[in-house]
Chain A
Amino acid sequence: MRPFVFTQAQNQEQALAAAAANETAKYLGGGTNLIDLMKEDVERPSELIEVAGLGFQEIKSNQNGGYTLGAMLSNADTANHPDIRRHYPLLSMAMLSAATAQIRNMATNGGNLLQRTRCPYFYETSMPCNKREPGSGCGARNGMNALHAIFGWNEQCVAVNPSDMCVALAAIGAKVQVQRVNGTTRTIDFSDFHRLPGDQPEADNTLQPNELITAIELPKPAFSKHYYYLKIRERSSYAFALISVAAGLQIENGTIVRAGLAMGGVAHKPWKLTRAEEFLTGKLPQTKNFEQAAELAMREARPLEDNEYKVEMGKKAIVRALTQAYEKNA
């Protein structure tokens, strides 16, 4: 690790001010991703501002009829919170599929949103990576890309977002609350929070410098009955997804009135399957409809040399996740 100044902020204002005063400072939450990347010499902050002690640990109901999650609350405490388990079991399930009990006890909700890609070209500092070192090229584009994107990639970057929590949040349709140094706040639609590589592959998200995530807003619960988070991976636990699908269905009188569907492991951001969601709305929860939704969802997939399998796997995963969601409590 490179040397850094360790700053323990006493309150939110101090944290924001410290960050504003040092453009190479970083906030430290659970550290599960940042400390690893610092050991790898990928992240090189000159200062760490510890934000774990600033509060933002609560889960409370919000004015939309939903709940708001504190950004500094651990993933474990969030996933196991009775209100989240009851009203957003899809989110709980996705969060519990991630990493391990130890890591979920450490990782924070805000930190999970900022989790960086697991692309080995990003991690290995001797190889080119536009995300780590803009302008150095994308090693994976014409290298080993079995684990990489099939949607939204470009020549600059083919990396995928590794989060499970974020896939569920995309399916549910969350918002991110952010605090700025001047005291103002802003709210970002989840679909606008993460971004595609574009010509700025180094930027994973649309946070502005020094902005601090304070909370995640969830809408009124819709998928508390029919939900499933399917995670396909190389071993049965403690592995990032090859492909994951978060599926939520709201079914009334036998008809789907609302569908929430997103995929992980396929793009630079959690990939919301908007067309499939729209297709399913008003349809019967039947296999042929699930299959058609999957076809629609995967129509625009552009696999790389090594990851053609993800198209096939993706279709099957969508059908399976929808089926499981439907059958749950059916």
Chain B
Amino acid sequence: MNKIDPWDSPNANDRQLSVDEAKILDQLGLTGDSRRKFLSRVSAASLSVLASPFFTAEVFGKAISNNPAASPEELLNVILVDLRVNDTVKPLQLDSRMTLLDALRERLQLTGTKKGCDHGQCGACTVMIDGKRKLSCLTLAATCKGKEITTIEGLAGEDDLHPMQAAFLKHDGFQCGYCTPGQICSAVALLDEAKEGEASYVTEAVGEIKEDIQLSEEEIRERMSGNICRCGAYNNIVQAIMEVQSGEETPARWEFASAEQMKKAKSS
């Protein structure tokens, strides 16, 4: 884990593990020495947090039990889908009613994709399906046969963040972080759409076709309007996207008043 993880605690040895925690460690394949070593790095609150990258990156495919909740005969209409997520294929038996969003979150532990409304009205569940940004809450998992799904967990490399992730971090393009994965997936797809020359409602002349367009601030705002951020980080999100698009630094929009300004304000 990154060394500035807020839960990195040096002092968490020898404590009683709950059944859940023990199970996570089992699933991670951590026993004996490695288990003790792992535990020395984490505190109680963080165990499952730390576990998630392992679930997603390393043991995806073997550690997830094949639906602990429902056996096939309990489901009214079982669908078999080989779900291809972030270059890994996972065969799933699932209820025909299950959305891609719930399949990711509840069956594959890929909880980076968020449920913000479950009705296609917020964008928090945005993922890329065959390279196009789509809403996983209105996509039945059953319709994903043979499709390539990319979630937030699939964007970063082993060590490096995707440039869009790095820009969001640098420009503070989030606060609570809940809409963030959807925003980032959306922003990544947005720049691909700009490369393709796609238009938007605010595009001046829809009839003129150009490729590889540089999006104005207005264009970015319109095209990102499908991702609601209730914390109100829109301005920072736009800055992050503009920086990734142009490769040029976008300056921060805050400043401190100078002593001179203060003096002038007082005296006038």
- Give chain A's interface residues, CB within 8 Å of chain B: 1, 3-6, 8, 28, 30-32, 35-36, 39-40, 48, 50, 52, 76, 79-80, 82, 85-86, 89, 92-93, 96-97, 99-103, 105-106, 224, 231, 236-238, 328
B120 near A6 with CB under 8 A, answer no
B186 within 8 A of A: yes
A106 near B225 with CB under 8 A, answer no
Contact residue among B143, B203, B221, B223 (Cβ-Cβ distance under 8 Å from A28): B143
In the bound complex, CA of A100 to CA of B201 (Å): 10
B190 within 8 A of A: yes
In the bound complex, CA of A1 to CA of B118 (Å): 12
How near does chain B come to A113, taking the closest CB pair, in angstroms? 18
A164 nearest in chain B by CB position? B201
In the bound complex, CA of A93 to CA of B99 (Å): 31
B135 near A102 with CB under 8 A, answer yes
- Total A-B pairs, Cβ < 8 A: 114
Q: Mark B199-227, 1 if CB is under 8 A from A, else 0.
A: 11101011101000000000001110111
B138 near A86 with CB under 8 A, answer no
Chain B residues with CB below 8 A from A101, complex form: 133, 186, 189-190, 193, 200, 223, 226
Dominant SS at the B interface? loop
A93 near B201 with CB under 8 A, answer yes
Chain A residues with CB below 8 A from B201, complex form: 93, 96-97, 231, 237
Chain B residues with CB below 8 A from A85, complex form: 199, 206-207, 209
B139 near A106 with CB under 8 A, answer yes
Given contacts A6-B96, A85-B206, contact A102 B198 (CB under 8 A): no
B225 near A236 with CB under 8 A, answer yes
Would you list 12 pairs from A and B whose C-beta atoms are within 8 A, ordered by A residue?
A3-B97, A4-B96, A5-B77, A6-B77, A6-B140, A8-B145, A31-B139, A89-B207, A92-B206, A93-B206, A96-B200, A103-B135
B225 near A4 with CB under 8 A, answer no
A237 near B222 with CB under 8 A, answer yes
Contact residue among A36, A86, A100 (Cβ-Cβ distance under 8 Å from B123): A100
A100 near B226 with CB under 8 A, answer yes
Chain B residues with CB below 8 A from A79, complex form: 199
In the bound complex, CA of A80 to CA of B193 (Å): 10
In the bound complex, CA of A256 to CA of B206 (Å): 22
In the bound complex, CA of A236 to CA of B226 (Å): 11
Q: Mark B39-68, 1 if CB is under 8 A from A, else 0.
A: 000000000000000000000000000000
